[in-house]
Amino acid sequence: MKRYTFIFTLLLISLLAACGSSLSEENKNLRADVIAVHDEVMPLMGKLKNLEREALNRAEELESNPEVDSVQVNELKSLAYDLSQAHEGMFVWMRQYDTEDGERTPEEVKAYLEEQMSMVQKVNEDIKAALARADELLGTE
């Protein structure tokens, strides 16, 4: 009977260890996915700033002409703001992103990474939306 208890305990410990390593591997993959979402749009940061300047310059040029429709000027200023916010959103996210797991349990790490995935996806979407709007208003590609 003691032998069966020992085997059962050993199997239970093995099963728990396998689950723990599985969660660690899942967290590793999730962390890589978070970084992949970041890496997709990070190279576009300079483009965001350049387009922001272009939108502001065009708005200034239009404002100097008294016959220009103020709606177009406001659209360009709004675009510049959106581009700036998308740019800043990336840096806000990067400053708060913690690469160290510290004293967190694997379950806490997973919850943290899932939250970060949601946040970085929002940043990614904001950048892409601002660039699409710039393409529409400025005719860029």
Domain ranges, ordered by start, for the chain:
25-138
Residue 101 gets which letter from DSSP? -
What pLDDT is stored for residue 12 in this prediction?
47
Sign of CA dihedral 14, 15, 19, 22: positive
Percent of the chain past pLDDT 90, that is, above it, reads: 74
Residues 74-99: tens digit of each pLDDT = 999 999 999 999 999 999 999 999 98
Poorest-pLDDT segment among 8-22, 38-52, 59-73, 115-129: 8-22
Amino acid identity of residue 55, one-letter, is: A
For residue 133, give the nearest of 77, 91, 93 by alpha carbon: 77
Instruction: Please state the pTM of the whole predicted model.
Output: 0.81
Average pLDDT over residues 57-73: 89
* 86 neighbors 47 (Cβ within 8 angstroms): no
